[in-house]
Structure 1
Amino acid sequence: MSVGRDERQRHLPAGRKAQLAAYVAESGQVTVGELAERFGVSIDTVRRDLDQLAAEGILVRTYGGAVSLSTVSRTDRAVDQRLAVQEQEKEKIGTLAATLVKDGSTIMINGGTTTLALARSLGQHRDLTVATNNLLVPSALPPTAVRDIYVFGGAVRALTLATIGPVSFRANTGAELDVSCDLALIGVGAVAADAGYTTSNLAEAAMMQEMISRAARVAILADSSKFGRRLFAQVSELGAADYLITDTAPPADLRAALKASGVEVLTPAARP
């Protein structure tokens, strides 16, 4: 009995990985178990293949599987989908961002899953005042770290579970209270040398701009999948931030632009 060319290739590493990459690109999101069953190989083999394909920039590894680059580029995805993308990178970024937060300080945190990872990393902190539009942050903050939590009001984007409205609060008399913070921690959708920091939603961009304007220091949080891209609405130019916190060093052109703009790039590898 002759075996078809596709069937023979499936059991050769190069051919299998090519077909695996094509299947992930077509499916958008897959699990390790699904791939092992489809290609007739062990789960460990699939994991090795996915790790190599991710290292080559062909797909993005997630906990328990992988997603295609086209899926990652769809910026308006639900929170539960985004939580599974670049999960380890976001945890590293969140842990590193937490080192910039000082006990007793006031911080602002915007919507997003990277800033959610930051909130979970504040367990060693004390006496923080936190203001946020991220509806998931209050429950993620370690209770021992927080003195006060404030949530900015406004309409709720169900897709991102974040409010959209003014960065302000009102006194009982109705007068608007002036608010400011020591550090704004802002997750963005894209970072590029020419476009600065951008996001997909105009109202969210406006809210992020206002958080930045009210902060003594600004840290932008973005994993490396956001580099070299531009989305619909600009949040700010590169120089509006003091820090860019990411999982790996940016490409040379972006790194040079950040340096020229006075932005310090912080990565886990660069910290003891």
Structure 2
Amino acid sequence: MSENQNLLAEQRRSLILDEVRRRGGVRVNELTRKLGVSDMTVRRDLDALARQGVLEKVHGGAVPVVEASTHEPGFEAKSGLELTAKEDIAREAAKLVAPGAAIALSGGTTTYALAQQLLDVPDLTVVTNSVRVADVFHAAQRTSGPRQGAATVVLTGGVRTPSDSLVGPVADQAIAALHFDLLFLGVHGISVEAGLSTPNLAEAETNRRLVQSARRVVVVADHTKWGKVGLSSFASLERIDTLVTDAGLPDEARGVVVEHLRRLVVAGEPEPEEGGDI
């Protein structure tokens, strides 16, 4: 981490969280030197991160929270994390969507950010099991009124999860009868051993159905998702066509990704020459 007195609070907190996770703990005085901010500013940042449940404050510093594989944060808790990275990923992922496509968006805060980037893409058919994603399109249509080329949104039924996704047999049956060109999938965790995983068993089954119904699968996930494992796996890395992530993904993880996936897109970075379109 380099010193920078002009970092926004969100950026500082992201850097602090990365440092805590990478080193297994940091002290307040180390962070003040690295970030070039006051002791009080660092303590406020640690308080905010502790309230979000992503680290634990200890005397003189902070340590990472070790999450159980069944722990499922709510939408609001996740929405405050890695905001800039999610917006960058969403803008990059939106470039993959052609007018008139039939796409699916799973639940999650990154797919929620993506939905906002897709409002001006004409004639989309959007299938989603996310109440939040559906609300993005419906709110835009209520504001602008009926317009030619507005997206057709299909919201599956089901039982609502803490992340505001609809899952279970009703959702699974609806998804199984559909076919879409692209699936944009948010994930709780991604790793070589476990593939894509989630803490919620019912959500895992619904995500399996989404993957089965998609011609191409695009995972949208910031770098903090790498190496995390939830209770239930629902797809191997080989089933993914593209991972869209941010520049925080470590080099060693990038090497692993390109061995298993057809395409890696890092927001803000040019793609290798051999990278092709979906």
Please report the TM-score for the alignment, with normalisation by the length of structure 2.
0.70
The structure-2 alpha-carbon separation of the partners of 1:45 and 1:185, relative to structure 1 and needing over 3 Å to count, comes to closer
Q: How many Å separate the matches in 2 of 1:120 and 1:77?
A: 22
SS of the residue corresponding to residue 269 of structure 1 reads: coil
Secondary structure in structure 2 of the residue aligned to 1:209: helix
Tell me: higher relative CO, structure 1 or 2? Use CA pairs within 8 A at least 6 residues apart: 2
Does the 8 Å contact 2:125/2:152 carry over to 1?
A: yes
For residue 58 of structure 1, the aligned residue among 4, 8, 20 is 20
Name the structure 2 match of 1:139.
Answer: 135
- Secondary structure (helix, strand or coil) at the match of 1:137 reads helix
Aligned to 1:35: none
Q: Is the 8 A contact 2:156 2:166 kept in 1?
A: yes
Does structure 1 residue 239 correspond to structure 2 residue 201?
A: no
Q: CA RMSD in A?
A: 3.2
Q: Which of 84, 88, 92 is the equivalent residue of 2:84?
A: 88
Q: How many residues align?
A: 221
Q: Which residue of 2 aligns with 1:192?
A: 191
2:49 corresponds to 1:67:
yes
Specify which of 92, 117, 122 is matched with residue 121 of structure 1: 117
Matched residue of 2:89: which SS?
helix
Q: 1:262: how far off?
A: 3.0
- In the alignment, residue 266 of structure 2 is paired with which amino acid? T
Structure with the greater alpha carbon radius of gyration? 1
Q: Distance in 2 between matches of 1:44 and 1:83?
A: 23
Aligned residues of 2:10 and 2:82 also touching (Cα < 8 A) = no
Q: Which stretch shows the higher mean deviation, 208-217 or 69-78?
A: 69-78
Return the letter of the residue paired with 2:16: A
- 1:45 CA drift (Å): 9.3
Alpha carbons 2:172, 2:205 under 8 Å: kept: no
Structure 1 residue 223: deviation in Å?
A: 0.6
**Cα offset for 1:67?**
1.2
* Contact 1:97 1:118 (8 Å CA) reproduced: yes
Q: Distance in 2 between matches of 1:147 and 1:46?
A: 35
TM-score w.r.t. the length of structure 1 is 0.71
Q: CA deviation at 1:219?
A: 0.3
Matched, 1:153 2:157: yes
1:194/1:138 Cα in 2 relative to 1: closer, same or farther (>3 Å)? same
Counterpart for residue 104 of structure 2: 108
State the identity %. Answer: 26
Matches of 2:128 and 2:7 in 1, distance apart? Answer: 43
C-alpha distance in 1 between matches for 2:187 and 2:91? 17
| Number of the residue aligned with 2:167 | 164
SS of aligned partner of 2:16: helix
**Conserved 8 A contact 1:130-1:146:** no
TM-superposition CA deviations, 1:210-243 (whole Å, max 9, x none): 1111111110011111111211111211011111
Q: Paired residue for 2:276?
A: none
Q: Given that residues 239 and 258 in structure 1 are in contact (C-alpha distance below 8 angstroms), is that contact kept between their aligned partners in structure 2? A: no
Change (3 A) 1:213 1:269: same
**Partner secondary structure for residue 67 of structure 1:** helix
